[in-house]
Amino acid sequence: MHHVLSVLVENRSGVLSRVAGLFSRRGYSIDSIAVGPTEDPAVSRMVIVVQADEDGLEQITKQLHKLIDVLKIHDITGEARVERELALIKVQADAANRGDILQIVDIFRAKIVDVAEKSLIIEITGDTDKVDALIELLRTFGIQELVRTGRIAMVRGRRVEAAR
């Protein structure tokens, strides 16, 4: 099953390749990874979505802990959380079908962020299911380009962990 790991790391050069390398070396593939600084500029947070069974997850977590640059690991799969992904989708569009596309965009509360003669760029934010659903619908019009950020997530309510 999919697990969402929230990993706090020292913001040092090479840390992303250490973490990513560990997954591939141990035979686990990363579905998505999103990295950025936290409220503390010396610390970054990685939100990693990985496919693994319970034993696999335990092994990944323990191996990650052994990396000197890793501060904290939290499996937030079972937690009440807000999870978001952002996607930019360039769709073929002309005068004839623009209206249909606009309608779909509206239903999904997505946004048109660029309009060209023969295409539109749509921005959508939401959980992965929502992003997937929109992409599916837009396929019929012809998707020219697609960019997704991967998931970011935050546990609701209480503060999950302080970096130090």
Partner 1 sequence: MAAVRATKQDIYHGGDAAIVETQTTITGAEALIKSLQAEGVDVVFGYPGGAVLNIYDALHQSSLRHILTRHEQAAAHAADAYARVTGKPGVCIATSGPGATNLVTGLATAYMDSVPVVAITGQVASFLIGKDAFQEADITGITMPITKHNYLVKDAKDLPGIIKEAFYVASTGRPGPVLIDIPRDVAVGELSYKHPESVELSTYKPTYVGHIKQITSAVAAIDEASKPLLYVGGGAVAAGAHAEILELAEKADIPVTMTLMGLGAFPGEHQLSLGMLGMHGTAYANYSVNHCDLLIAVGARFDDRVTGDIQSFAPHARVIHIDIDPAEIGKNIHVDIPIVGDACNVLKEIVAKVAPKQHTHWVTKIKKWKQEHPLHYEIEESNCQAAGTSQRVHPQAVIDALYELTKGDAVVATDVGQHQMWAAHYYRFAQTRRFVTSGGLGTMGFGLPAAVGAQIGKPDATVLCIAGDGSIQMNIQELATVVQEKLPVKVFILNNQWLGMVRQWQELFFEKRYSHTSLESGPDFVKLAEAYGVKGMRIKNPSEMMAVLEAALAHPGPVVVDCWVKQDENVYPMVPAGKGLSEMLGLEGK
Contacts with partner 1 by CB under 8 A lie at 10, 13-14, 17-18, 21-22, 25, 55, 58-59, 62-63, 65-71, 164
**How far are the Cα atoms of 68, 81, 90, 131 from residue 139, in angstroms, in the given order?**
44, 29, 10, 12
Nearer to partner 1, 7 or 124 (CB): 7
Nearer to partner 1, 60 or 153 (CB): 60
Nearer to partner 1, 86 or 163 (CB): 163
Q: What whole-number distance in Å separates Cα of residue 15 and Cα of residue 153? A: 20
C-beta of 22: minimal distance to partner 1 in Å? 8
Q: What is residue 156's DSSP assignment?
A: S
Torsion of CA 140, 144, 146, 115, to 10 degrees: -100
Nearer to partner 1, 72 or 81 (CB): 72
Question: What burial letters (b/e) apply to 132-148, b meaning 16+ CB within 10 Å?
Answer: ebbbeebeebeeeeeeb
Q: Please, what is the angle between helix 54-66 and helix 15-25, to 10°? A: 140
C-beta of 11: minimal distance to partner 1 in Å? 12
